Structure 1
Amino acid sequence: MATDFWASSHYKRWVVDRATLKQARAEDLQYVDDPDHLHFLAIYFANAISKLGKKLGLRQRAIATATVFFRRFYLKNSYCETDPFIVIAACCYVAAKAEESPIHIKNIVAESRALFSQEQYNVKHFPSDHTKLAEMEFYLVDDLECDLVVFHPYRTLLTLCRKEVSDTASLFGSEEGEADEAGVGLSADEGPRYWGTGEGQLELSEGALQTAWFIINDTYRSDLCLLHPPHIIAIAALYLTFILNGPTRSAVLPDLPSASAPTPRRSTRQEQSKKPPPPPQDPIAFFAGLNVSLPLIATVAQEIISLYTLWERYKEGGESTGKSPHSGGTVSPAKRSAAGSSAGTPMEAVEDASAAEGSGWNEEEYVTPRFLSRLVMRMREAKVADVKRSSSLAGGTGTGTGRTAPVNKVLERTQAAG
């Protein structure tokens, strides 16, 4: 694995601008009534990847890598021209191998068929032949240009917070390799770009670290992983942890001693033998000491808040009540933070927020997976109709399939190249 992010293919080829994202979605915009529907599809597909990954027993890092592969693939392709569900299965298959936790292809096919045949996805014809998935793997790797090394914000988060792998196992399960080498991802020359002085690392409580970790998980429901380097996202997650979550803020900022409290008298010998207490952590000085653009951090934090605002309108039916977003539900960390002002831990905040939300809701006020499944189907059908119409007007002999399958699309590209 590359050890220098600044020299990696991730930084050089896969950190793009908004104009590139807009161009990538230009064709899909022709087949949706509301541009926000494409943002809801980003949440919808990321949740599907997360569910499939958990059914396959993948670690969070592998699930995040699969999501990044999916986002990169659709920088060059459209939802209306491909089958996103077989792409999801291929992304999980390739990510599992890239993260050195391979899964047999037959297990991928079986779990994908079982998951995507559910009513909320309603995929009736997911291929049972594993050779189709193997073929899709080659097309996926081709569009990824064989760039399978992905850097994630988790390592930066654990490094900045001075956490070891053994410390995180109890919090997030087995995430071996996330922070085994604090310098991985930094070069000797380029590391100080965001590390600053390297002094005064944060010492977060378990609840605070969980909140930051969950916020990073949630960012994969958007295109932030394509727009910004991972260390920027990690620092923005820390920033939101300080700002939004009441228990986290009070835990990280220790109470200063009262000025009115009497100071006990000590002998000179006691003063010489006793070490002075460490100064309280100053988060403002910590962020100011990082060699990053603070306006950029604030911009990314605002983008995450905008994601949560959109996410409030997405509901996964009765299955989602009481679940948090990092497990595929609808309770965002923004809502956890609001509820956290009276709750003791992040998980208690989740339960309080879910209880306050209630079980009754009007489906017309929310965007649901069933609606998005129908939307994807309508987009593909409309694209096929346009291809047929164009073929008939040109006097051709169109087959009517257009480019609705990744296989057909890549074959057309190969034939065009001669």
Structure 2
Amino acid sequence: MATDFWASSHYNRWMVDRATLKQARAEDSQYVDDEEYLNFLPIFFANLIAKLGKKLQMRQRVIATATIFFKRFYVKNSYCDTDPFIVIAACCYVAAKAEEAPVHIKNVVSEARMLFNNEELGAKSFSPDHSKLAEMEFYLVDDLECDLTVFHPYRTLMALCGKDGSAAEAGELGAGVDDGPRYWGTGEGKLELQEGALQMAWFIINDTYRSDLPLLYPPHLIAIAAIYLTLVLHSSTRALLHAQTNTQSAGSASSAHASAQQGSARRSSRSSSAHAKKAPQDIVGFMAGLNVSMPLVATLAQEIIALYVRWERYREDAHATQQDSARGAFAHTYAKRAASVGSAGTASTGATPSADEPSAQGPGERVPLVVTPALMMQVLANMRERCQRDREMAAHGQGGRTVAVNKVLERAQAAG
């Protein structure tokens, strides 16, 4: 099962639709001033998971698994009913075990306290008691239904574009090799990308974890969408693609030309003559030969672009840089282009917000142009305060509401 996505719990139990996600956030939407804030929470929480993972020296695959665990947990729970910070710590702790790179619980608690209790976040409620995290682990695994096998797009990316015998990060291909039917076509050959282009595709996949896309689409589609965006946005690769397109349009029919190119590539691979010049790879033919719906890939690519447009409004601080993200490479330029043609509805104007604009929000006001972690902390605090107030009012009347995870933890600790 670990090598067959279609028979895995990931595909059969944890691929959800948008109606399910909307239902999962229904309770939170009652306690937030503007529902648009809920679109920024995945960015906020994914950044925190990445920061904690780096402090614990976790590989990118472990961080990605922890992020998926967090998203799955909140398919069944609401932000206002739980403490997301202890959930983040538990997700990192469990993900490290699931990916066979365990970290000590004391290290997780120590690093989490240093991260969450700083002046910027001020999550003073995070407890130094190791038993609370150990207990939260059981509640997390229970809500995950013990489904700890997660498939990531990195494996497909390296299968389609990785050089033989190498990977961008050791161990990212996972355990074992899929001997079943390939879901990306014949599997003959690989797409030859420059190192910078392959790195950009890897970063795009990293960035998709700041959204709900990993819950909505299979990982191989996300990987192909990342390759598709890379072909469009990586300058030298785009220039090569344009040159090949012009060459093909000047020749015979595209299908015959693609067949000739593939035959030439196979003959050149078998030839050992030093003077034979290798024919350029037919990138368009390779993408067209994938056994996936290209309109669906294009739709997914547009959703990734919409994520970047939204992410442009989120700032860790006034002088933050995103050196580990594809966003810093092309999102600003593409956001303007997307806004001008209306491909991303979240951008009503093509202007990029200034980092100096105020981020404070009063009751009933719209989401400001610049969203910061401090503002997200304020939103979470307001949501939990309003939720708690309604709980107390309901306790004197109807009562009988579902006991949240944080309530279970409090009662368990009180009982000793």
Q: Say whether the 8 Å CA contact 1:121–1:370 is kept in structure 2.
A: yes
Who is 2:322 aligned against?
323
Mapped partners of 2:166, 2:333: distance in 1: 26
Query: What does the per-residue CA deviation read over 1:360-405, in whole Å, with 9 as the maximum and x for residues that have no partner?
Result: 53233301100000110111111110011111234x799xx97371
Who is 2:171 aligned against?
177
Shift of 1:187: 4.5
Match runs of 1:345-360 below 5 Å: none
Who is 2:382 aligned against?
378
| Equivalent residue for 1:248, pick from 237, 241, 246 | 237
Q: Say whether the 8 Å CA contact 1:165–1:178 is kept in structure 2.
A: no
SS in 2 for 1:81: coil
SS in 2 for 1:79: coil
Q: Say whether the 8 Å CA contact 2:28–2:383 is kept in structure 1.
A: yes
Who is 1:14 aligned against?
14
Shift of 1:331: 3.0
Mapped partners of 2:381, 2:403: distance in 1: 14
Aligned residue type for 2:385:
E
Please state if 1:203 is matched with 2:192: yes
Residues 276 and 4 (structure 1), Cα distance of their counterparts in 2 relative to 1, 3 Å cut = same
Please state if 1:216 is matched with 2:205: yes
Residues 115 and 252 (structure 1), Cα distance of their counterparts in 2 relative to 1, 3 Å cut = farther
Runs (4+) of structure 1 exceeding 6 A deviation are 252-257, 272-275, 336-339
Residues 58 and 319 (structure 1), Cα distance of their counterparts in 2 relative to 1, 3 Å cut = farther
Please state if 1:334 is matched with 2:331: yes
Mapped partners of 1:223, 1:251: distance in 2: 33
Mapped partners of 2:274, 2:107: distance in 1: 61
Unaligned runs of 5+ in 2: 251-271, 337-351, 360-368
SS in 2 for 1:309: helix
Who is 2:108 aligned against?
108
SS in 2 for 1:122: coil
Identity across the alignment (%): 59
With structure 2 as the length reference, what TM-score do the two structures score?
A: 0.80
Q: Say whether the 8 Å CA contact 2:98–2:149 is kept in structure 1.
A: yes
Residues 88 and 319 (structure 1), Cα distance of their counterparts in 2 relative to 1, 3 Å cut = farther
Mapped partners of 1:312, 1:388: distance in 2: 39
Aligned residue type for 1:227:
L
Who is 1:363 aligned against?
358
Mapped partners of 1:30, 1:358: distance in 2: 28
Mapped partners of 2:78, 2:371: distance in 1: 21
Residues 10 and 34 (structure 1), Cα distance of their counterparts in 2 relative to 1, 3 Å cut = same
With structure 1 as the length reference, what TM-score do the two structures score?
A: 0.80
Who is 1:231 aligned against?
220
Mapped partners of 2:375, 2:273: distance in 1: 70
Residues 311 and 406 (structure 1), Cα distance of their counterparts in 2 relative to 1, 3 Å cut = farther
Query: For the aligned residues, what is the CA RMSD?
Result: 3.1
SS in 1 for 2:396: helix
Q: Say whether the 8 Å CA contact 1:380–1:404 is kept in structure 2.
A: no
Who is 2:68 aligned against?
68
Shift of 1:254: 6.6
Worse-matched range after superposition: 67-76 or 239-248: 239-248
Query: What does the per-residue CA deviation read over 1:150-185, in whole Å, with 9 as the maximum and x for residues that have no partner?
Result: 0000010011013245352xxxxxx3222377x73x
Who is 1:140 aligned against?
140
Aligned residue type for 2:323:
S
Match runs of 1:125-164 below 5 Å: 125-164=125-164
Please state if 1:314 is matched with 2:314: yes
Who is 2:305 aligned against?
305
Residues 120 and 164 (structure 1), Cα distance of their counterparts in 2 relative to 1, 3 Å cut = farther
Worse-matched range after superposition: 288-297 or 311-320: 311-320
Aligned residue type for 1:81:
D
Match runs of 1:265-284 below 5 Å: 276-284=276-284
Aligned residue type for 2:206:
N
Shift of 1:229: 0.6
Q: Say whether the 8 Å CA contact 1:73–1:144 is kept in structure 2.
A: yes
Aligned residue type for 1:323:
Q
Who is 2:84 aligned against?
84
Q: Say whether the 8 Å CA contact 1:90–1:140 is kept in structure 2.
A: yes
Mapped partners of 1:152, 1:178: distance in 2: 9
Unaligned runs of 5+ in 1: 169-174, 260-271, 340-356, 412-418
Please state if 1:390 is matched with 2:382: no
Q: Say whether the 8 Å CA contact 1:233–1:300 is kept in structure 2.
A: yes
Mapped partners of 2:284, 2:411: distance in 1: 51
Q: Say whether the 8 Å CA contact 1:136–1:407 is kept in structure 2.
A: no
Shift of 1:249: 1.9
Shift of 1:210: 0.6
